[in-house]
Each structure stands twice: as C-alpha cells, then as structure tokens.
C-alpha cells in the first residue's frame, strides 16, 4: 500500500486548500506524477487556471528547475492553439517552483483510450494523429522538437480540441533556440522510464522513443523523431500494445534502440492499407525512410481518413463502481 512518502498523489493532495503567495488558492488536485502536481486554482481576482507545482524536494535541483521553467518558454514559442499556454511562473514561500497554465477541461488521450476498452478505431486514430501533427508542424517550423509524444501528453478537451502537453523535454535547434530568463535552454539528453520517479530520471518514455532517441544520439534527433513517436502512439491506440513489448522499461529501451518496429499488420491484419502505410512508414528504424516531416505525415493521414467509411458510435467503458 502506498504511503505519503512514496505516493506523489497522496503528498500532493495535502496541499489542496492552501494558497500560494497569497494569490492562488489550490482548489482541486487534477493529477500528480514523479516531477510535479497539477491543481485547479483560483486567483484572488476570481480567475481560474491550472497550477503545475514542482515537487518541493525537486525544486532544490538546479537542472530540474531549468527544465521545469523551460516548458513554459518553449510551449509559448510554438504559437499554436494546440500548445498549452503558460501564463506565468513563480516560487512559493517554501521555495517550490510553479507554472500558471491555461485550465483545460476534458481528459488525456490515455484516459479516453482506457475508457474505450484500449482500442481506437482507424478513423479516431487518424483524427487524433492529424491534430497532433498540425501542432508539430508549427513547433518544428520554430525549430522545436517535442521528444515526448505519447497518449499521456495528448489532451482531449470537452469541446473536442487536441492539446499537446509537456514541452519540458523539447529540444531546440541551435540557431532557433530562444533564451530563457536564466540562460540558454539546455539541450542535454537524458532518459526517463514511465515507472521511475527518482530525482533526475524524468525525461522520456521508452515505449514511444525513436531509435536515435533511445540511443541518446542527440545530434540525430529532429522532426522525424517526433514522427516516429506519433506513429508509435497510433500503433498503441489501434493494437492495445506498445511497439516493443518487454518485461521492464530498460529492456524496452534496448529494444527501441536496436530492433526495428514490427508492421502493424502483424497485430491488426484487417487494418485498411492506407492506415497501415501511414504507421509503418512513420515507424521506420532508419529515419531517412520515415515521413520526411510532420506536414508530409499530416497530409498522408488526411488522405487515409478520406478513404474511411463512416463508423457507428461506440459506447465507452463504464467507470468502475457505476
């Protein structure tokens, strides 16, 4: 059983009801992970926002503080409505960093996928991919590579818009990199595992990493790295499994670095050819064989979507206990 000491959500829950800097009242915990917690908050002027609060023990780490603040600078630099806007940043009386972000109403793509019995239809998958790729077209035009595309970082709003979260991992090309208030944005590459919450181990997710990213070849990471991750996301939404299944994240990382992705046809033989083609090309081991950029893949998803017949409305999986 998790305790307050090892459960981020339990620790974060204790702050609900507190007020940061005599301005932001923390109304509700929206989510918590190994690095930060997100709250619905109300400003003393009555406006609401999302507060992303770096865990206090991590706020002492200079490199993590820089990475946390970087998310705000980079997301705003994308200048696309699909990138979550960061409105402000601050430091609590206890020294913990926080970002003030636009408040989103809805759910993550991962949550939606779980409610749909861990299977999306081809039309649903293509629609999501098309929206994400549209955001990436804007990001890549600014020299910004996201590097952590996955269902948990894609948000579906109640009014059916797609938002791309967590630009804290984004890599900026040298000539395009904006200057943060505390200096140049760092471009160091580190690896995160989805189960690790230890200090300094919060960067990247092996099941959605392109080979060059898994190999930590920072100089090879570019827009086609994000293309691979979009393909991996589509693969998972349609098949209910990761591109590379393994016993633990470290094995998964090794497979991502050394083993070509299987064809989605191996797991979904009935998938229409246009959809299979989009995904298989995105997941090419050699990035030269992938879609050359996000716009090319976006156009391919639109063309594939146009071939799809209408689908019957599905019932989502009922919540437990209801």
List residues with catalytic annotation.
Answer: 148
**Neighbour tally for 99: CB within 10 Å:** 24
Q: Which one, of 108, 96, 86, 88, lies nearest residue 11 by Cα?
A: 96
CB 50 within 8 A of CB 42: no
> Can you name the residues that pair with 99 across neighbouring β-strands?
52, 89
CA 259 to each of CA 215, 252, 284: distance values in angstroms, whole numbers, following the listed order: 12, 10, 11
CA 277 to chain CA centroid, Å, is 24
* Paired residues of 163 in beta bridges: 155
Q: How far is CA 270 from CA 123, 256, 307, in A?
A: 14, 26, 15
């Amino acid at each position: 059983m998790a305790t307050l000491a090892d459960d981020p959500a339990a620790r974060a829950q204790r702050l609900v009801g507190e007020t940061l800097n005599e301005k932001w009242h923390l109304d509700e915990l929206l989510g918590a992970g190994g690095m930060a917690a997100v709250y619905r908050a109300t400003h003393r002027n009555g406006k609401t926002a999302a507060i992303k609060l770096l865990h206090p023990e991590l706020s002492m780490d200079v490199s993590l503080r820089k990475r946390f603040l970087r998310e705000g600078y980079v997301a705003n630099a994308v200048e696309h409505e699909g990138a979550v806007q960061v409105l402000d940043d601050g430091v609590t009386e206890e020294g913990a960093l926080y970002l003030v972000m636009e408040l989103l109403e809805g759910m993550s793509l991962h949550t939606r996928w779980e409610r749909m019995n861990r299977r999306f239809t081809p039309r649903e998958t293509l629609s999501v991919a098309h929206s994400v790729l549209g955001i990436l077209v804007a990001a890549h035009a600014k020299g910004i590579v996201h590097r952590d595309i996955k269902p948990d970082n894609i948000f579906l709003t109640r009014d059916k818009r797609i938002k791309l979260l967590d630009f804290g991992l984004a890599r900026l090309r040298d000539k395009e990199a904006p200057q943060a208030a505390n200096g140049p944005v760092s471009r160091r590459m580190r690896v995160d595992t989805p189960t690790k919450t230890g200090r300094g181990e919060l960067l990247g997710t092996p099941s959605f990493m392109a080979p060059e990213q898994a190999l930590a070849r920072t100089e090879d990471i570019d827009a086609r790295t994000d293309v691979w991750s979009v393909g991996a996301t589509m693969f998972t939404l349609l098949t209910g499994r990761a591109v590379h299944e393994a016993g633990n994240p470290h094995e998964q990382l090794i497979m991502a670095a050394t083993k070509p992705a299987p064809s989605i046809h191996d797991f979904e033989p009935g998938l229409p050819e246009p959809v299979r083609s989009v995904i298989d090309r995105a997941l090419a081991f050699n990035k030269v064989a992938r879609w050359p950029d996000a716009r090319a893949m976006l156009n391919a998803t639109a063309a594939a979507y146009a071939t799809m017949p209408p689908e019957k409305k599905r019932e989502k999986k009922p919540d437990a206990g209801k």
